[in-house]
Amino acid sequence: MGLVPTMGALHAGHMSLVSLARQKCQSVALTIFVNPTQFGPNEDFSAYPRPLELDLKRCAEAGVDLVFTPSVSAMYPADASTAIRVGRLAEVLCGAYRPGHFDGVATVVAKLFHILPADMAYFGEKDYQQLTVIRRMVRDLDMDIQVVGCPTVREEDGLAMSSRNVYLSPAQRRQATVLSHALFLARDRILAGQRNADAIVAEVRAAILEAGPSQIDYVQIVDPDTLESLKHVDRPSRICLAVRIGSTRLIDNVPVP
């Protein structure tokens, strides 16, 4: 069985995970659960889109065999007191701006792995830190499941698909394309021989700020396994960013071979 954990508001990126799972597995299960423990007190838990009927239709059309849509009370009894603490991987990149977020992610994914025992679980590389955290949890806790990272799916103009893209106004949506363009420019700089991470990051930040009003949480070039920030790009890496355009926080990354 293949498992595709999601928070719903399904788009082509999610459905690409289903497609990859169907290629390898005899059956595919998908979960839809907006997990409260991974949202901070001032984040968008209440506003997060929940188009359940449309999601179920998409799952049926894609050949998903089982959709699991638990309530919050089913997943978290009122007196629940046990959680997973991730450690260093959860304290960098997005973790520095969203304390507790990845502990909440790891806890709910561990629960889903126990509720729906699967052979393989599919996650998108767009949420690369999440994918890294889950891989480490599976390794550290000896979970008998293979975690499969799947390529980021992008709109035609390069913007990484995300359920939060619906928050963007038309002007903000056009502005947001600078994120992927800047990332691919940075990748090309590295492949052309630039090794100074600070210089590459400065160029990415300048391109983002030139495109319009925004707040950059971070732009970093990191080791793909440890997520430690690199100063000299002398190995395979990931260029990662998180940027707020208006009130919408967008994340993206590209690999550098």
**Which residues are marked as active site?**
14
Cα-trace Rg, the chain: 18
- Long-range CB contacts (within 8 A, 24+) of 114-117: 115/68, 116/1, 116/3, 116/29, 116/31, 116/66, 116/68, 117/1, 117/145
Instruction: Find the Cα–Cα–Cα–Cα dihedral 137, 38, 241, 197, rounded to 10°.
Output: -40
Integer Cα distance of 36 and 46 in angstroms = 9
Integer Cα distance of 186 and 200 in angstroms = 6
How do 237-245 and 248-256 pair as beta strands?
Answer: antiparallel
**Closest C-alpha to 213, from 187, 244, 256:** 244
Tokens 């210089």 correspond to what residue? 199
Tokens 């359940």 correspond to what residue? 52
Bridge partners (DSSP) listed for residue 219: 241
